[in-house]
A and B are shown apart, each in its own frame.
Chain A
Amino acid sequence: MADPANNKNGGAAGGNEAPERPKPAGYFEGETMTRRAAFAVAGQAFGGVAAAGVLLPVVGFAVAPIFDRPEERWEAVGPVDAFSDDTYRQAVITLRDGIGEAGKTTVYIRRGNPSRFEGESADEFIAISTRCAHLGCPVRFVEAAGSFICPCHGGVYDFEGKVLGGPPVRPLDRFQTRVRDGQVEVGPRYSVTNSLKPVRSRDPGEFTGGIWEYLYPPRPSTPPAP
């Protein structure tokens, strides 16, 4: 074992005929490690354990929210009769409690329209998220144009939320809906592919469908697609 402590007095100059050096403290016949080296290893191991004992919990603390999925929220937005199938009605729902305006968002809701859109049914409700699929600014439904328009970088979506123009990479997200006691309720958000097939909720700016389902892996913090 090349221990600098052993070289202190002897020095390399002696070569093979180096004079007998005094044994270091704690030396015994047949030792595989000097006492000094053993203490160095033990000291560093101890320091390492102490550092890990502090760092691992705090890193876990900071990272834990990634794995936390808050309870699903369902919020009533109005009686069934209040919604028509040829225009949207606006409602404000709470995504996160206790943080005031920052936890709220606007949704646009209408009844399904089977005569205009294939695959919709007259007793389902469509709730469109106002979170722009480009980078998340709040889109607005413009009645006269029958389309959703984003104030930030000019994203435009048609009546169904499909991209008409601008930088958005996929149609507008939607919220799950259900009817309880004659009230339409809005639940968790999900994303859709270009053909409006539901997929797990994505952040804005991420493509959906095909290989993108693997390049943007599912996150534990979002509920699975309906």
Chain B
Amino acid sequence: MPNLVPKALRKPGKPGEGNGALSPEKLKEAPVDLVGWVDERTGASPFLTGLLFRKVPKGTNWYYTLGSATLFAFLVQAITGVFLAMFYVPSPVEAYGSITHITNDVFLGEFVRGMHKWGATTMIILIFLHMARTFFFGAYKYPRELNWVIGVVLIILTLVMGLTGYLLPFDQRSYWATIVAMNITATGPILGPYLADFLRAGAEFEATTLSRFYALHMMLVPGLIIALIGAHLYLVVKLGTTAPPWVRAESKPKSLREEKV
């Protein structure tokens, strides 16, 4: 079977094996190669091969896919959200009507809205499972504390997405649930009342409360999440992942310890 991976992205050879690069004479006769053309101008292949062929510890298992699953859930939200935004109207008078229009009239509207709605719950479940995985595997320990901290900010921002998104359908449930959420915010001493005024853009449910939530939900918070996922994944690749605890326990053979004594 021919190797379908473009040359620039193939696994680098072991030292002394050569990296498959053509000699200058052969290069002249080589067929036009799109990936090679891009690679020659970006120098991206060492980065990409480093990313794709990085070493993972022994014992890596299905639980290590929970982070990628969370990432996938986020991407589903991002994509379906962009298309919902094409039909949604963030005005207190029209929001509910635009949502019923998406659900009842727009082709595949109910399906796309359903993906966004159920995807939100799925992402929350996955992010908690991923957090539990890193916790129980001790993956938050040195030198990965910073990645845990970034993860905590990510989980908070994900919950903020849930809170701000809940108002948008603007039915009775979302309206009153948001009223209650803003009033809970207001009960914090000293700063609470001002925070609630900030969320509502005033002392009551205001003309701009809905558009404020919409702007937070579709621009500000997703932007922060994307930036932090970037930092999170950078650290995952830079530091490598943690071996499961049971593998680490086995890696201290008895003989080694006996020798030391």
- Chain A residues within CB distance 8 Å of chain B: 62-63, 65-66, 68-70, 95-100, 102-103, 135-138, 152, 201-206, 215-217, 219, 221-222
- Asked whether, in the complex, the Cβ of B179 is within 8 Å of the Cβ of A136, the reply is yes
- Provide the residues of chain B in CB contact with A138, threshold 8 Å: 176
- Provide the residues of chain B in CB contact with A221, threshold 8 Å: 197, 202-203
Residue of A66, A99, A202, A205 touching B194 (CB-CB under 8 A): A66
In the complex, the number of residue pairs spanning A and B with C-beta atoms less than 8 Å apart equals 91
What is the 8 Å Cβ interface bit string for chain B, positions 190-214, against chain A (1 contact, 0 not)?
1011101110111111111010000
- Provide the residues of chain B in CB contact with A69, threshold 8 Å: 203
Residue of B175, B179, B190 touching A217 (CB-CB under 8 A): B190
Least CB distance from A59 to B in Å reads 11
- Asked whether, in the complex, the Cβ of B184 is within 8 Å of the Cβ of A219, the reply is no
- Chain B residues within CB distance 8 Å of chain A: 92-93, 170, 175-176, 179-180, 182-184, 186-187, 189-190, 192-194, 196-198, 200-208, 210
- Interchain residue pairs A-B with the least CB separation, the first 3: A203-B186, A99-B92, A205-B187
Also in contact, A66 and B186, with CB within 8 A (given A99-B207, A137-B179, A216-B192): no
Task: List, sorted by A's number, 6 A–B pairs whose CB atoms are closer than 8 Å.
Answer: A97-B207, A99-B92, A100-B93, A103-B204, A137-B176, A204-B186
- Asked whether, in the complex, the Cβ of A137 is within 8 Å of the Cβ of B187, the reply is no
Residue of B180, B197, B198, B205 touching A102 (CB-CB under 8 A): B205
Least CB distance from A119 to B in Å reads 27
- Asked whether, in the complex, the Cβ of B206 is within 8 Å of the Cβ of A96, the reply is yes
Distance between Cα atoms of A217 and B186 in the complex (Å): 11
Least CB distance from A70 to B in Å reads 7
- Provide the residues of chain A in CB contact with B196, threshold 8 Å: 203
A-B contact sample (18 more), CB < 8 A, given A98-B93, A135-B184, A215-B190: A62-B198, A65-B197, A65-B198, A65-B202, A65-B206, A102-B175, A103-B204, A103-B205, A103-B207, A135-B180, A136-B183, A152-B180, A203-B182, A216-B192, A216-B193, A219-B193, A221-B202, A222-B203
